[in-house]
Amino acid sequence: MGFSSFLKKVGLKHGFDPVSFTYMYGREQGLTPTESATNAFTGGMFVNAFQGAAEGRAGEARYQSEQARVEAEQAERDGYIRQLRGVYGIGEDGEAQQNARTLADFLRTYYEESLGANLGAVDQQYASTSRRSRQNLARVGQLGSGLDAQSQAGNLSDYLRARQQAVMQASGARDRLNTGLTGQRMSFENQIASGGMASPDFAGIAAQRDAQLAQAQAQIAPAAVGHLFNVAGAGYQNGRIQEAVGNQGMQAFGFGGGGSSGRIS
């Protein structure tokens, strides 16, 4: 019986099993059971090995395809993150460098305006405190006295300390704004890296960045400074003067006369 006829006879009745098929075909061709078994075993090993190799190649192809897909998605996310960083002035391309200059200029201007507002408030507080001190001294005839000199020295010391605080507050405000921008950028980066932002809207991100800058700019005002002027020194001196006014004299504090009365506006 020919091979194709035998295939129809056996293969259509039974599922294709290479070992059984080879054995049965050998018997059909007149081989002894031992010869047929040997051929069946050898042929089965070959067919199984061939099938295993084919399956291995198919598995490797699937792995390579999946690996390529993962790498392509990661490369896309990396590109998005580079573009995002450029919005915040990080990167070597022209747009990133321009954004870096713009942000640096804004932070410098923000610091200068914050410092100007702070120092202006300190100057006003110092002028007001000094004026009240001299008015009180004049009311008790102590202008030019030792108490006058002591009051002026205390006010000046507090004024210089307040100016240092004004500088520190302006620097702190600038640093907090810069930290806020970094936090905003990192939040977007995490969303992109985790796949939560498949197609970033960089125009919208830039708008959020600018909104944060505008909000900080709008909050620059002397009112934000508060009372930088230290009342521990000036207030103490003025308290002594007020008490002297109530006593109509300074003898209780160990100060003699020697001052002149006058009007301070």
Q: What is the pLDDT of residue 63?
A: 80
User: Tens digits of per-residue pLDDT, 170-220?
Assistant: 999 999 999 999 999 999 999 999 988 888 999 999 999 999 999 999 988
Q: What is the pLDDT of residue 69?
A: 86
Residues pairing with 143 in the sheet: 260
Residues pairing with 123 in the sheet: none
User: Across residues 113-130, what is the average pLDDT?
Assistant: 89
User: Across residues 118-133, what is the average pLDDT?
Assistant: 88
CA 137-143-146 angle, to 5 degrees, is 95
- What is the H or E stretch that residue 254 is in? none
- The confidence band for 61, taking pLDDT boundaries of 50, 70 and 90, is confident
DSSP secondary structure string for all residues of 194-222: TTS-SS--HHHHHHHHHHHHHHHHHT-SG
User: Tens digits of per-residue pLDDT, 77-96?
Assistant: 999 999 999 999 999 999 99
Distance CA 49, CA 46 (A): 5
Beta strands in the chain (DSSP E): none
User: Tens digits of per-residue pLDDT, 138-183?
Assistant: 888 888 888 888 888 888 888 898 898 889 989 999 999 999 999 9
Rounded to the nearest integer, the mean pLDDT of the chain is 76
Coil, helix or strand for 88?
Answer: coil
Q: What is the pLDDT of residue 151?
A: 85
Q: Of the given ranges (28-37, 157-166, 226-235), which has the lowest mean pLDDT?
A: 226-235
The gap from C-alpha 62 to its chain's centroid, in whole angstroms, comes to 39
18 pLDDT more than 80: no
Q: Of the given ranges (9-23, 54-68, 127-141), which has the lowest mean pLDDT?
A: 9-23
Q: Do the beta carbons of residue 185 and residue 82 sit within 8 Å? A: no
Distance CA 152, CA 149 (A): 5
**Token pair of 250 as six digits:** 């300074």
Q: What is the pLDDT of residue 96?
A: 95
Distance CA 227, CA 162 (A): 9
Q: What is the pLDDT of residue 59?
A: 78
Distance CA 198, CA 213 (A): 26
What letter does residue 251 receive in the DSSP assignment?
G
Q: Do the beta carbons of residue 228 and residue 121 sit within 8 Å? A: yes
